[in-house]
Amino acid sequence: MAGKLFLSWTRPTQEQQQNCTAIAGGFNYNTTLQGTSALSAEDKILQDNLAKNGFFINRARVLLGTGSITYALAKSAVLTWRQFGLKWAFVDPQTPVEKGRRFCVCVNEFFPWVMMPLQIAYVADASIQPPSAAGIKDSFGFGSGTLQGHLLVGEERFSVQWDEDDRVWYEIFSFSKPAHIISAIGLPYVRFRQKCFARQSAEAMVKHVSAQKPKIEDI
């Protein structure tokens, strides 16, 4: 469980992140689980199966507002990684959201920075393929799987949804377990910080969309 670990004594540059993803290797979790995060986070059978396999489920869902403008802003925010608008964690906002794209989540919990490589496993866009869930006007999301060199094993989805009641939601849903001795030893803290990230990510999305709406509506 020791494995690789990608560190930087200063805020990681684009070059460092590119080097990290280039040498990270493939997915570090079972390929049969690829795309699992695209399923409903409320599915009890899914939750039970993941729990039986040792995965910790992390989820946050927040109302961003109503209407088409809110949905457009929310989708744009996810596409430009605004959900990572945090002081202690970031993703290069120029990273294209497309299947197969590799990227790093850079985290500065303590010192130094840790670069954790992932790859986008799927992109689900209801504007191209209509949503299967009843009561949904439109939705967009993507899921990323952990690569070799990540502290965890698992997958994470970021999505926005516009329902038939005109409400727009942001959701983060992930399942994970330790992939390195560091995350195994510090598992309680890791899970605590995952919950913090989900909450802060939701807060960042609310703040961003709220700040942008008047600028659009005043035009």
Residue-wise pLDDT tens digits, 91-134: 999 999 999 999 999 999 887 999 999 999 999 998 766 655 66
Tokens read off for 214: 């008047």
Instruction: Answer whether the bond into residue 112 is a cis peptide, omega within 30°.
Output: yes
Residue 71 has pLDDT above 90, yes or no: yes
Tokens read off for 152: 């965890």
pLDDT band, residue 31 (cuts 50/70/90): confident
| Stretch 199-210: mean pLDDT | 96
Residue 219 has pLDDT above 80, yes or no: no
pTM of the full structure: 0.91
Please tell me the total count of domains within the chain: 1
Asked if residue 168 belongs to a domain, the reply is yes
Residue 78 has pLDDT above 90, yes or no: yes
Asked if residue 133 belongs to a domain, the reply is yes
Asked if residue 1 belongs to a domain, the reply is no
Q: What is the mean pLDDT of the chain?
A: 91
Looking at per-residue pLDDT, the higher value among 30 and 146 belongs to 146
pLDDT band, residue 40 (cuts 50/70/90): confident
| Residue 126 pLDDT | 84
| Stretch 52-63: mean pLDDT | 95
> What is the extent of the structural domain holding 76?
6-217
| Residue 4 pLDDT | 79
| Residue 128 pLDDT | 67
| Stretch 62-74: mean pLDDT | 96
Of 15-29, 81-95, 125-139, 198-212, which range is least confident?
125-139
Asked if residue 145 belongs to a domain, the reply is yes
Asked if residue 105 belongs to a domain, the reply is yes
Residue 123 sits in a domain whose CATH number is 3.30.530.20
pLDDT above 70 covers a percentage of the chain that reads 93
pLDDT band, residue 212 (cuts 50/70/90): confident
Amino acid at 148: Q
CB atoms within 10 A of CB 189: 11
| Residue 135 pLDDT | 77
| Stretch 17-40: mean pLDDT | 92
| Residue 132 pLDDT | 56
pLDDT band, residue 136 (cuts 50/70/90): confident
| Residue 5 pLDDT | 85
What whole-number distance in Å separates Cα of residue 82 and Cα of residue 71? 14
Asked if residue 149 belongs to a domain, the reply is yes
